[in-house]
Amino acid sequence: MTKWKELKKPKRLNSTNHVFGQAFSSFLNAGSHWFKGDFKKSIEGFTKSLPSFEEHKIYTLTVGVYNAFATISLMKGEFEKAIRFAEKGIHVMQQQGFYWPYPWNAVIGAYLNKGDTQTALKYAKQRLTLMEELQNHKGIVKQLRWFAQIYYAKTEYEKALFWTEKSLTYAEKSKNKREHVWALELIGIIYYQMGKLDPAVNYLQQALTLSKELREEFGGEGLTTCYVQANLAELYSMRGDFDQALKLMESGLALMEKHESSWFQHDFYLTMGTILMKKGDYIQAREQLHTSLALHEKYGDILTSADTLYYLVLVNSELDELEAAQRYLHQLKQLTSTTTDPKITQQIQLAQGIIYKKSPRAVMKAKAQEIFQQITNEEKIELDLSVFAMLNLLELLIWEVSSSGHEEVLAEIQQLILRLDDLAQQQKAHTLEIEVRLIQSQLQLITGNVNQAMEVLKRARGIAYENKLESYQNRIERQEQEIETELQKWRELAEQNAPLIERMQQSKVIDYIDTALRLVGKGSSQEEKIKTSIQD
């Protein structure tokens, strides 16, 4: 059995060997480029340094290079490469009997991103065993967080909460403020996924306050504050407080620029773009997405580039600039030559469907309906993409009824509404649940069930009140007032058995679907990510 010794970081070595000196200089320069987010130059520098480190058997620096390759690959979404390099680093450490945490972090993170939680758990258990062997109590605390993140990825939120709270207790006892921040942040994210928005905001606010204290006390730690602000911004966005969400994102970007770190600026610009889309400010959203795309192209982040191109198709479609939307769709399709990620294929399908839907021709709308129906029936699909497809399909079915007056299509619409409602309740997606009920209320009016329409709104108001969604409370109250002022009109339409086309024209169901598409259908590339650093 290997007798392990702990290594805090690779030692800085001096050497009279000219070749080694150049290699070490390349290593240091590569690290500087890495911090600034210039992955291309960073990789070039690390690649130059590796042969000399291997030749001179400088194992600590050899592992350092493998870790750099693994971490950069992970950031770029190249998970197989990340695993390969991280496992090389772990193999060297196993042979030489020393321990450094970063390759374990990278390999666990890569398997988590691939969705292979079992292998991630295997490596996490290996690392915990090492921490116990080394009697590294600080490392054990950090390992508890990894278990929490793995169970979070498995959507076993109660277990994730258990491990995170355990990590928080250890962090408080050891006065480890950095781990304290991360634990508070993760608890907030878990509560959000459990549908408990109020405690989620509370814990993220605590994490933000502590991260600022940490930065003032020790300097640095800017990225930690940025991650917390980004997650908090997502919650404010979900609550409909877009101005507060954007304020937090802008503050995070300013902090990144101050620290000259470009690692995650593209993610921040992307998130700002999606928040602005929810707000309905498509011009500003497009500007933020353009900035994000330029950064993606510079740093080679394929998966986030795909997200940005996808949203650029959506925003240009909303602006009726379909030629631009087609160009971005073409760029999105080109990414499939470098990655086989299934999400990109689904994004391409959806983007094509959106462009078809915007066409005034019925034949194009029929093609769009076929695409959305196909995506809706798929089992393995990202949740936000599935919801977006369902809402778009719903809009097209409503358009069909409004044009044809065919009563049988209403049955399809009701079935789709029930599926969306079930999905929202299963996922505890309260904003989606409210949007579905607002649409339901209009459909009840169309079918002559005025009292039932008011009852549906009452249930929606209860959800909004329980989760302190003030913007939704106001919207629901306005809809209740509108229905009350139009009660006589709807009762007369029902008594006269007015044609379905006329009833559809009198309703505002299309407006409510459009709002749902804007607020919850487009989702956000960040909404289900844990923005905590993979580094110790």
pLDDT digits (tens, 9 = 90+) for 339-354: 777 888 899 999 999 9
What is the share, in percent, of the chain residues with pLDDT greater than 90?
Answer: 31
Residue pLDDT, tens place only, 52-106: 888 888 888 899 999 999 988 887 778 899 999 999 999 998 888 888 888 888 9
When pLDDT is averaged across residues 390-412 and rounded to a whole number, the result is 90
**Of 432, 439, 441, 453, the residue nearest 398 (C-alpha):** 439
Sequence-ordered alpha helix ranges (H) in 56-78:
59-75
Residue 522: per-residue pLDDT: 60
Give the per-residue pLDDT at 394: 94
Q: Could you read off the pLDDT of 420-468 as tens digits, one per residue?
A: 999 888 888 888 999 999 999 999 989 888 889 999 999 999 999 888 8
Which one is predicted more confidently, 244 or 336?
244
Other C-beta atoms within 10 Å of 374: how many? 13
The 10s digit of each residue's pLDDT in 167-188 is 888 888 878 888 888 889 999 9
pLDDT reading at 525 higher than 50:
no
Q: Classify 98 as helix, strand or coil.
A: strand
From CA 41, how far away is CA 48, in angstroms rounded?
A: 11
Burial label, 496 (beta-carbon count in 10 A; 0-12, 13-18, 19+):
exposed
Q: How far apart are CA 525 and CA 232, in angstroms?
A: 15
Q: Looking at per-residue confidence, does 274 or 471 come out higher?
A: 274
Cβ 109 vs Cβ 79: under 8 Å: no
Report which residue type is found at 316: N
Average pLDDT value over all residues in the chain: 84
Q: Judge: domain 1-135, CATH 1.25.40.10.
A: yes
Would you say residue 476 has pLDDT above 70?
yes
What is the Cα–Cα distance from 279 to 475, expressed in whole angstroms? 15
Higher pLDDT, 500 or 354: 354
Query: Which tens digits make up the pLDDT trace of 147-165?
Result: 998 998 888 889 999 999 9
- The region of weakest confidence among 21-25, 323-327, 378-382, 460-464 is 378-382
pLDDT of residue 1: 42
Is the pLDDT assigned to residue 521 strictly greater than 80?
no
User: Residues 316, 309, 388, CA angle at the centre, nearest 5°?
Assistant: 70
d(CA 248, CA 254) in angstroms, rounded, equals: 10
**Exposure pattern of 29-57 as b/e (b: 16+ CB <10 Å)?**
bbbebbeebbbeebbebbebbbebbeebe
The encoded tokens of residue 298 equal 């510079």
What does the alpha-carbon distance between residue 188 and residue 178 come to, in Å, rounded to a whole number?
16
Task: Give the domain ranges of the chain.
Answer: 1-135, 406-521
